[in-house]
C-alpha cells in the first residue's frame, strides 16, 4: 500500500517537473531567459523529488534534496555523473539570476538549461517507470 502511495507521489512530482519544463520553454520563447532558467531548475528539482518519493525520502531544504540525490543515486551510479553536474549548474544559475543584481542570463545558458532539464526528466521517468 505504501509503495503505491510513493509511486503516486513520484508521478505527481514528475507532472510538476514537466509543467516547469513547459514553462521554461515558453519563457525562453518570450526572451525571458532568467525566468526560463528558474523554471528549468525547478523542473530538475521536482524530478529529483520524484525519484526520492519512491523511497519516501524528502527534505525541507533544496540542499538536502540535492545532497541526498548525489550521495545515494549519483555516487552509487544509479544516475550518471552528468546529472549531478546538471543540478549543480542549474542551482547556481538560478540562484545567481534570482538574487544577484545585474546578473544577466544568456540565451545560450537558458537553452542549455532547458536541454539539461529535459534529459533529467527523461532519466527520472525511466527510473520511476522501471
Task: Enumerate domains of the chain plus CATH numbers.
Answer: 2-129 (1.20.120.330)
pLDDT of residue 1: 57
- pLDDT mean over 43-47: 98
Q: In sequence order, which ranges of the chain are alpha helices (DSSP H)?
A: 2-29, 33-53, 62-69, 81-99, 107-129
Render the burial of 67-77: b for 16+ CB within 10 Å, e for the rest: ebbbeebbeee
| Region 57-68 average pLDDT | 96
The mean per-residue pLDDT over the stretch 104-125 comes to 98
Residue 123, SS3? helix
Q: Is the pLDDT of residue 115 over 60?
A: yes
**Across all residues in the chain, what is the average pLDDT?**
96
Amino acid at each position: 500500500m505504501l509503495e503505491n502511495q510513493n509511486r503516486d507521489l513520484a508521478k505527481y512530482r514528475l507532472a510538476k517537473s514537466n509543467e516547469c519544463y513547459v514553462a521554461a520553454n515558453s519563457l525562453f520563447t518570450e526572451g525571458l531567459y532568467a525566468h526560463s532558467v528558474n523554471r528549468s531548475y525547478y523542473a530538475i528539482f521536482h524530478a529529483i523529488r520524484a525519484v526520492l518519493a519512491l523511497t519516501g525520502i524528502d527534505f525541507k531544504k533544496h540542499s538536502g534534496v540535492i545532497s541526498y540525490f548525489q550521495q545515494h543515486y549519483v555516487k552509487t551510479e544509479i544516475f550518471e555523473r552528468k546529472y549531478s553536474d546538471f543540478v549543480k549548474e542549474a542551482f547556481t544559475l538560478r540562484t545567481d539570476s534570482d538574487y544577484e543584481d545585474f546578473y544577466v542570463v544568456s540565451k545560450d545558458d537558458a537553452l542549455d538549461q532547458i536541454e539539461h532539464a529535459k534529459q533529467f526528466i527523461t532519466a527520472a521517468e525511466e527510473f520511476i517507470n522501471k
